[in-house]
Structure 1
Amino acid sequence: MRQIIIIGSGPAGYTAAIYASRAGLEPLLLASSVESGGELMNTTEVENFPGFPEGIQGPELMDKLQEQAEKFGTTVAYDDVTELDVSGDVKKVTLGNGETHEAHAVIFATGSAYRKLGLADEERLSGHGVSWCATCDGFFFKEKTIAVVGGGDSAMEEATFLTRFASKVYVIHRKDTLRASKIMQQRAFDNEKIEFVWNSEVVGISGEDAVTGVTLRNTTDGTESNLDIQGLFVAIGNDPRTHLVHGKLDLTPEGTIAVDGRSSKTSVSGVFAAGDVIDPTYRQAVTAAASGTVAALDAEHYLAALGE
């Protein structure tokens, strides 16, 4: 029987582990067998995480967070959670290898996944011109021509933000109208650096070591064309990883785990949530880390009240 189990190995999970282990709770952190480290493992240079003025590679940052957590007594296991039972005072977590771990408290920090185009070269060129986060990577596209795929508020926000750096921003949308709110649409329409490519979908990405262009298919007549760009930002949404808690924890209309105010307390006593899995808005490494801090402190107070 453990005092606390942390599910998730992104900035939220590891920060929660650092705080929990320093409090003497000896947490077990369950990292995925194939996606350990979260979305930062797919990011090259990280320049907006405090404490690294020269920037740091995403995988290196995650390695440092893990090292710090393990230094204070966190045990890291690389396996996938297949079942989560939070119905009783003792929470039960079942892994892919068949093992079941029990704890008085669980921190759920599984993050979210960016929706992808599903193209063969999308993963290959990730970090080499293909990105899912303008705030993270926009700085690297100064005076370059880039494109944003999407038609919602996120796409308009990303496109507008990227005009701070890029010389030209195309917005590629499969329809001739946008889903975005009127104010976000108008902001993009008014920006002279943004040009819309309507009724088009990306069906191919070109480039050996870096993005050099995309192949577009017209959604009305099926014709194809090429567009020369140096960067492609995919902004078609993201999905919180909540499949394990469907029907077990209350969710928000956005699909994230519902928590009580600014706390990490979920609808089930002894279960706490942190990071992107509760955040449909900011989704930054530093906000996830701060959320992990809150979860660890909430869990510590909960366990103290139990006398554990």
Structure 2
Amino acid sequence: MAKERVKVLIIGSGPAGFTAAIYAARAGMKPVLYQGGQPGGQLTITTDVENYPGYPEGIMGPQMMVDFQKQAERFGTDIRSGMITAVDFSGWPHKVTVDGKDEIEAEAVIISTGAAAKWLGLESEQRLNGRGVSACAVCDGFFFRGQDVAIVGAGDTAAEEATYLSKLVNKVYMLVRRDEMRASKIMQQRVMNAPNIEVLWNTETVEVEGGEEVEGVKVRNTQTGEERVLPVQGFFVAIGHEPNTAIFKDYIDMDESGYIKTIPGTSKTNVPGVFATGDAQDKNYRQAVTAAGSGCMGALDAERFIAEKEVEMQEAEV
């Protein structure tokens, strides 16, 4: 087992992680960043990004993450492949294990692990993922222009994505398990005002049908038990996201959904020297620009923490 000591360890490589790396590197903290299981984060499965400042013509999500990485590397960030498989935040310096074998001691840790889309858990859903099944209407809606699609969900995200799809496709079936939506009134109104969105209440998904690509979706009425097949070519899942934070649960305070709690106005967690940024702690906005902003906060908070620690240690030696 190899052991190593670093000043700043950044876990995750989306906009939050790379922005934290840029700030930490420019501050001379020689950050080490582990990319995790999805280098570049969710933007690597996004096509056009048109709402990030500084890209007037828009940019492809994967290229944007390449740009972020190059900028972080330019200032000396040590970017590594690998997964953080265990952490020990019971003392200081903080300890983490990489790929189940190597141990790193870090004076400050910035968590930027993001969140992943939730799925229904159907075998057919995973088998046809990328072949008509998607968890991102904004990413993939373009491919279904003029076709019929279904979307599962009842919250603001589902309503927003259904409305977005309605501007591209011929017909949108919105599958809602109960007899009401959780979405805000204004989002529900947008759904109801779209002439090509049909809301199917008390409806659950039984199976996504198709061999090489989606050919239909079998649904069941939860009250009558009646089943039928909707003839759609696209199936979108919009039932929320799950933060990638389980590994930290023994040490870090989280809400009931697993999002890390931070002290308002900061990236500070309940553990001194551990900071949370991006979608791992943000369930409201989940945008690249807000993630990047919180990454900046994480690096600045880490820099101040390390400076204060150094003063403490100097005073202790006197």
Shift of 1:125: 5.5
Counterpart of 2:74 in structure 1 is 71
Which one-letter code corresponds to 1:289 in the other structure? A
Counterpart of 1:249 in structure 2 is 252
Alpha carbons of structure 1 residues 250 and 200: separation in structure 2 relative to 1, 3 Å? closer
Counterpart of 1:95 in structure 2 is 98
Matches within 5 A, 1:149-188: 149-173=152-176, 175-181=177-183, 183=185, 184-188=187-191
Q: Which runs of 4 or more aligned residues in structure 1 lie more than 6 Å from their structure 2 counterparts after TM superposition? A: none
Alpha carbons of structure 1 residues 301 and 43: separation in structure 2 relative to 1, 3 Å? same
Alpha carbons of structure 1 residues 132 and 246: separation in structure 2 relative to 1, 3 Å? same
Which one-letter code corresponds to 2:266 in the other structure? S
Counterpart of 2:16 in structure 1 is 12
Equivalent position SS for 1:262: coil
1:117 is aligned, of 106, 111, 120, to 120
Shift of 1:219: 4.7
Moved more, 298-307 or 102-111: 298-307
Matches within 5 A, 1:10-159: 10-32=14-36, 34-120=37-123, 122=125, 126=129, 129-138=132-141, 144-159=147-162
C-alpha separation between the residues in 2 aligned to 1:259 and 1:140? 39
Moved more, 180-189 or 13-22: 180-189
Shift of 1:269: 1.1
After superposition, give the CA deviation of every residue in 1:106-154 in whole Å (9 maximum; x if it has no partner): 0011111100133456456655654323455556665553321112343
Moved more, 258-267 or 139-148: 139-148
Counterpart of 2:277 in structure 1 is 274
Shift of 1:176: 4.4
- Kept in 2, the 8 Å contact 1:250–1:267? The answer is yes
- Kept in 1, the 8 Å contact 2:205–2:217? The answer is no
TM-score when scaled to structure 1? Answer: 0.85
Alpha carbons of structure 1 residues 251 and 177: separation in structure 2 relative to 1, 3 Å? same
Which one-letter code corresponds to 1:105 in the other structure? A
Flag structure 1 segments of 5+ consecutive residues without an equivalent.
none
TM-score when scaled to structure 2? Answer: 0.83
1:260 is aligned, of 260, 263, 272, to 263
Cα RMSD after superposing both structures: 2.8
Shift of 1:195: 0.4
Equivalent position SS for 1:307: helix
Flag structure 2 segments of 5+ consecutive residues without an equivalent.
312-318
**1:293 lines up with 2:293 in the alignment:** no
Which one-letter code corresponds to 1:180 in the other structure? R
After superposition, give the CA deviation of every residue in 1:32-56 in whole Å (9 maximum; x if it has no partner): 2x42222222223333333334443
Which one-letter code corresponds to 1:265 in the other structure? K
Which one-letter code corresponds to 2:27 in the other structure? A
Alpha carbons of structure 1 residues 296 and 141: separation in structure 2 relative to 1, 3 Å? farther
Q: Which has the larger radius of gyration?
A: 2
- Kept in 2, the 8 Å contact 1:15–1:289? The answer is yes
Equivalent position SS for 1:84: strand
- Kept in 2, the 8 Å contact 1:213–1:227? The answer is yes
Equivalent position SS for 2:101: coil
- Kept in 2, the 8 Å contact 1:110–1:277? The answer is yes
After superposition, give the CA deviation of every residue in 1:59-98 in whole Å (9 maximum; x if it has no partner): 3332332222122111122222122122223111112241
After superposition, give the CA deviation of every residue in 1:203-241 in whole Å (9 maximum; x if it has no partner): 115474x75543435556666543333443211111111
Counterpart of 1:201 in structure 2 is 205
